[in-house]
Structure 1
Amino acid sequence: MKRRNFIYLSGVGAGAMMLPNLPAFGTPIDPAEALNQVDARIKKELADVALNMAKSKGASYADIRIGRYLNQAVVTRETRVLNVANAESYGVGIRVLVNGCWGFAATNNVTKDGIAKTTERAVAVAKANAKIGGKPVQLAPQKGFGEVSWKTPIEKNAFEVPIKEKVDLLMSVNGAALAGGANFVNSTILAINEQKFFASTDGSYIDQDIHRLYPNFSVTKIDAAKGAFETRAALSSPVGMGYEYLNPVESEKVKGIVTRYKNRYDMLEDVKNATKNATEKVSSKSVEPGKYDLVLDPSHLWLTIHESVAHPTELDRVLGYEANYAGTSFLTVDKLKSGNFRFGSKNVNVVADRSQKGSLGAVGYDDEGVQPKQFDIVKDGILTNFQTIRDQAHVIGLKESQGCCYAQTWSDVQFQRMPNVSLAPGKAKLSVDDMIKGVEKGIYIVGNGSFSIDQQRYNFQFGGQLFYEIKNGKIVGMLNDVAYQATNQEFWNSCAAVCDESDYRLGGAFNDGKGQPGQSNAVSHGSSTTKFTGVNVINVKRKIG
């Protein structure tokens, strides 16, 4: 490795450590190179080498993923640009089914010869696995789609936007925070482009171009006299969109106690509000522990949905595949098959949908060539389904996969990952203001914070960014040091009301970790503002010194 590349990669690594949501990087490239794509015809020729080789070696099924993954990060702090990184990872992953067992191998030698040799390795792995024994893989049937393509419906490719334009925006954001009295501020723009080609012996040749964007910042205010400090992070969402998400002229927002952003985001306006919020938090009163009604904004509730609904309804976790690393689930197959397990109140309707426009998980086809569909997980409070892929579907009596398969790169084997999992909005017209008017003693929580949840996804605790006290139907001031605790069923059965579609917004995780070796998945969770009654609130005040 050349010295300049080593220094460049070291800088990328330093930036990655500062950003918990930064995806894995590959080889540094010039930004202009990111705009060059590989012709789908060439990828089809390469794919046929693997599929034909696999069948000739005895595979009953085979698929190949040719992936080009682009990552860009612009990282700043106060008046400095800490890092600008552009990286590419390009290679091939081949999966085969031989004698009822899976085999997988990957290579960055994207040539016909390299793919042929890698296919032979995958077949050898499958044959070795078959000698161990066990139940043969039962693969749900899947029709081939022929030659098709899908692209994230973006208006402006983030990789086409000059680095200077991004740096100028972030410097303006930092400058506004410092001018408003912030002591520290950092800001970032992360962009992802997955160019994925999937082919299988079922007859699919699927070319996809997937885009994601995540603008973010954190503002810190210090009160030296009190020996205290407070922070407020951006209320942006990572999105499956292009750079148009950062068009402040078209910001879709609702003014209120806080600005609620929908399908566009005004980063400069948000940082000005964040600086005021952080200053107010320093002098806000500490919460009195007790029972409260909670009014939870989608910018907060997405994380509660992610941890307490989406993870425990992953079938591989339910079956114990994740037990050694990430735990199991309090939900079980027998609870699902009973048909009457009450997960939450009748207001709780949870849907999964990887086709949702603007979401992080939006794709045209999953990494097994399955076209995703919307399906219910909880209907009127009753558990109705788990998330599955092709070799899991038979476990719960399904005849087809639900399109929940994903691999973070070409070098990783695809496995079950959560789709977008969201709380459906209420059907009756109900605004946030109307909801607050109906609360006598409560707390309005905005933004996600720290959390803790047990290995069965049953007992949990969640914090947030901003907390507002509600008395007799009115917001009376800001609170601090708030966290709520509950068991899963207790919490979701206390769901008393959900605002209507007009308030529906997406939040999400730019990288949700799972598996051994670990992989990262991007996923959104939507909801409207939701009320939960009689929830236990504790005081989590920090002790300094």
Structure 2
Amino acid sequence: MKRRDFMQLSGMGIGALMGASVPVLGNAVPLEYLLEPRADAATKKKLADVALNAAKSKGATYTDVRIGRYLQQFLFTRENKVQNIVNAESYGVGIRVLANGTWGFSATSDVTPDGIARAAETAVAIAKANAKIQKEPVTLAPQKGVGEVTWKTPIKKNAFEIPVQEKIDLLMKVNGEAMKNGAAFVTSNLFFVNEQKYFASTDGSYIDQDVHRIWPTFTVTAVDRQAGGFKTRDALSSPMGMGYEYLDGVATEKIPGPNGLVGYRNSYDMVEDAILAAKQAKEKLTAKSVQPGKYDLVLDPNHLGLTIHESVGHPTELDRVLGYEANYAGTSFATLDKWKTKSFNYGSKLVNIVADKTQPYTLGTVGYDDEGVPCKEWDLIKDGVLVNYQAIRDQASIIGEKESHGCCYADNWSSVQFQRMPNVSLRPGTEKRSVADMIKGVDKGIYIIGRGSYSIDQQRYNFQFGGQLFYEIKNGEIAGMLDDVAYQANTQEFWNSCAQLCDKDDYRTFGSFFDGKGQPSQVSAVSHGCPTTRFNGVNVINTGRKI
């Protein structure tokens, strides 16, 4: 690709992507800007101290400062054409303070001592103005400073250092192989994100973190021109907290499944998946339409991860429970009275769901959250019972916690940090069990793979989920592909129907790269791990016009 063409595509990308609702947090820059370093840790410490001292001199009782550099590279193709290449950078400082018991926040792209001092003074002025209408002072859970520390995503290949031509060649091969194997149309995309974040606070923390994320994805479409119908199949990849090694094909870890199906864990063969997707999209054109009724569902991790996200991850966000998100993201059926009883059966005794920001290779994993709190793991649902929520420093006391859970996040230096979903995952079963073993025990069921369309109410209670691939199970065997499948339930009913889990050898992650929340809206990235899981007697509907 010629440099002139590359720069033209980069400039075009921002507007096109925004029109497609893909968040670009920064300005379009030449590729080489992404590889050039900014300030080192020592310089950032000096700048952070300017903010801490300026805020204190104006009356702040607590201050934290985030010096952030956020890099993005997005590549978009269709069939044999490159549609967009976007390189974006955002660099600046966000300062949050407590003054008169009230929060104040200000941000600036003027990363100089004078610019930072002015922003700190503005944050204090905002806090004091807010204090006039504050009913109760903010109560922060204590947090001991960690001193000067660093944390990095343990990548082997920095995706931003891989030549653009190599990435385009991969996408062209993905598209070409899909077309050879029956796809009429195909789009493929690569998303790369690097967050270089420096956090400092009056607690005595100076934390330098380098966070990387990757998401390869595609959609193939098969067409029946005679009947005028079409079917699609999306990639079975998962966004990961990894470098380009996720795609290099050296250590692809495949998870075998019935009927030749495979999943991937910690590595991904994008070309192989595209070939399989084209064949499966063609097969969907002639698949039998499902008969509505009650079925036992065998749900693959690439599918169940989304159900976990919507029906467990969001309802256990404490700000939702308290009504803070009611205007935009909704509330939660998992109210405080249910938690206080310590006996609310969210699911069956097999359901053990944990929150964490420590699991390797996942999207939410960092060393410290955006309040400087060391990340950890904690139980949300234990033996089927709701036992906890997701809480940050100014929420912990509400639920009797002595410390934050370490799940505070802002998507940019210019955004104020608030509670965001950590990785929320279903623990695997303890008995040795493969997917094939699980299917053998099902008389009438459906095996569902991949994320599809979904709908869920404002309290995250009543829902409907589709998928990518559906296979009928009869008398313990796969009997063929189905179509027009969706299942309906409410959250408590669904999780109480959980009857069987595969073991750790089948455990995989699903991810959401652009999860929205808040006003003004912010995005975050989060993973959800689980094994293939069986749910008994779930209501299945037919979403098509043929039965």
Shorter-chain-normalised TM-score: which range?
over 0.9
Aligned residue in 2 for 1:15:
17
Residue identity matched to 2:360 = K
Residue identity matched to 1:189 = L
Aligned residue in 1 for 2:283:
280
Q: Indicate conservation of the 8 Å contact 2:214/2:240, yes or no.
A: yes
Q: Which of 264, 267, 281 is residue 264 of structure 1 equivalent to?
A: 267
Residue identity matched to 1:112 = P
The alpha-carbon deviation at position 226 of structure 1 amounts to: 1.5
Residue identity matched to 2:347 = G
Give the distance between the partners of 1:7 and 1:255, measured in 2 at CA: 39
Q: Indicate conservation of the 8 Å contact 2:17/2:24, yes or no.
A: no
State the SS of the aligned residue for 1:313: coil
Give the distance between the partners of 2:537 and 2:366, measured in 1 at CA: 39
What are the superposed Cα offsets for residues 240-281 of structure 1, whole Å, 9 maximum, x if unpaired? 000000022311002333111111100000000000000000
Aligned residue in 1 for 2:226:
225
Aligned residue in 2 for 1:201:
202
Residue identity matched to 2:113 = K
The alpha-carbon deviation at position 224 of structure 1 amounts to: 1.3
Residue identity matched to 2:134 = G
Distance 1:8 1:246, change over 3 A: closer
Residue identity matched to 2:249 = P
Q: Indicate conservation of the 8 Å contact 2:12/2:84, yes or no.
A: no
Give the distance between the partners of 1:110 and 1:291, measured in 2 at CA: 60
Residue identity matched to 2:189 = T
Give the distance between the partners of 1:192 and 1:48, measured in 2 at CA: 28
Give the distance between the partners of 1:504 and 1:8, measured in 2 at CA: 38
Give the distance between the partners of 2:466 and 2:213, measured in 1 at CA: 27
Q: State yes or no: 1:482 paired with 2:500.
A: no
The alpha-carbon deviation at position 6 of structure 1 amounts to: 9.5
> How is 1:480-519 mapped onto 2 (pairs within 5 angstroms)?
480-519=483-522
Q: Indicate conservation of the 8 Å contact 1:483/1:538, yes or no.
A: yes
> How is 1:431-510 mapped onto 2 (pairs within 5 angstroms)?
431-510=434-513
Aligned residue in 2 for 1:417:
420
The alpha-carbon deviation at position 16 of structure 1 amounts to: 4.5
Give the distance between the partners of 1:300 and 1:111, measured in 2 at CA: 47
Q: Indicate conservation of the 8 Å contact 2:10/2:85, yes or no.
A: no
Give the distance between the partners of 1:15 and 1:231, measured in 2 at CA: 22
Aligned residue in 1 for 2:3:
none
The alpha-carbon deviation at position 34 of structure 1 amounts to: 1.5
Aligned residue in 2 for 1:35:
35
State the SS of the aligned residue for 1:490: helix
Q: State yes or no: 1:123 paired with 2:124.
A: yes
State the SS of the aligned residue for 2:315: helix
Q: Indicate conservation of the 8 Å contact 1:15/1:75, yes or no.
A: no
Aligned residue in 2 for 1:430:
433
Give the distance between the partners of 2:163 and 2:88, measured in 1 at CA: 16
Give the distance between the partners of 1:13 and 1:25, measured in 2 at CA: 12
Greater shift in the superposed pair: 242-251 or 495-504? 242-251
Consecutive unaligned residues in structure 1, runs of 5 or more: none
What are the superposed Cα offsets for residues 63-88 of structure 1, whole Å, 9 maximum, x if unpaired? 00000000001110000011111110
Distance 1:339 1:187, change over 3 A: same
Residue identity matched to 2:28 = P
Q: Indicate conservation of the 8 Å contact 2:183/2:220, yes or no.
A: yes
Q: Indicate conservation of the 8 Å contact 1:15/1:82, yes or no.
A: no
> How is 1:304-343 mapped onto 2 (pairs within 5 angstroms)?
304-343=307-346
Q: State yes or no: 1:47 paired with 2:48.
A: yes
Q: Indicate conservation of the 8 Å contact 2:9/2:84, yes or no.
A: no
Give the distance between the partners of 2:223 and 2:496, measured in 1 at CA: 40
Residue identity matched to 1:123 = V
Aligned residue in 2 for 1:535:
538
Q: State yes or no: 1:77 paired with 2:114.
A: no
Aligned residue in 2 for 1:93:
94
Give the distance between the partners of 2:18 and 2:363, measured in 1 at CA: 20
What are the superposed Cα offsets for residues 404-456 of structure 1, whole Å, 9 maximum, x if unpaired? 10000000000000000000001111110000000000000000000000001
Give the distance between the partners of 2:15 and 2:428, measured in 1 at CA: 40
What are the superposed Cα offsets for residues 19-44 of structure 1, whole Å, 9 maximum, x if unpaired? x5x43231122222222332011100
Residue identity matched to 2:178 = A
Q: Which of 344, 369, 377 is residue 372 of structure 2 equivalent to?
A: 369
State the SS of the aligned residue for 1:378: strand
Identical residues among aligned pairs (%): 66
Q: State yes or no: 1:102 paired with 2:69.
A: no
Give the distance between the partners of 2:459 and 2:76, measured in 1 at CA: 36
Aligned residue in 2 for 1:401:
404
Aligned residue in 1 for 2:173:
172
Greater shift in the superposed pair: 29-38 or 118-127? 29-38
Q: Indicate conservation of the 8 Å contact 2:223/2:229, yes or no.
A: yes
Give the distance between the partners of 1:380 and 1:68, measured in 2 at CA: 42
Give the distance between the partners of 1:266 and 1:196, measured in 2 at CA: 31
Aligned residue in 2 for 1:142:
143
Q: Indicate conservation of the 8 Å contact 2:9/2:85, yes or no.
A: no
Distance 1:7 1:263, change over 3 A: closer
Greater shift in the superposed pair: 384-393 or 24-33? 24-33
Q: Which of 345, 357, 362 is residue 360 of structure 2 equivalent to?
A: 357
Consecutive unaligned residues in structure 2, runs of 5 or more: 1-5
Q: Indicate conservation of the 8 Å contact 1:23/1:71, yes or no.
A: no
Give the distance between the partners of 2:176 and 2:313, measured in 1 at CA: 38
Residue identity matched to 2:356 = D
Q: How many residues align?
A: 538
Residue identity matched to 1:476 = A
The normalised TM-score by structure 2 is: 0.97
The normalised TM-score by structure 1 is: 0.97
The alpha-carbon deviation at position 542 of structure 1 amounts to: 5.5
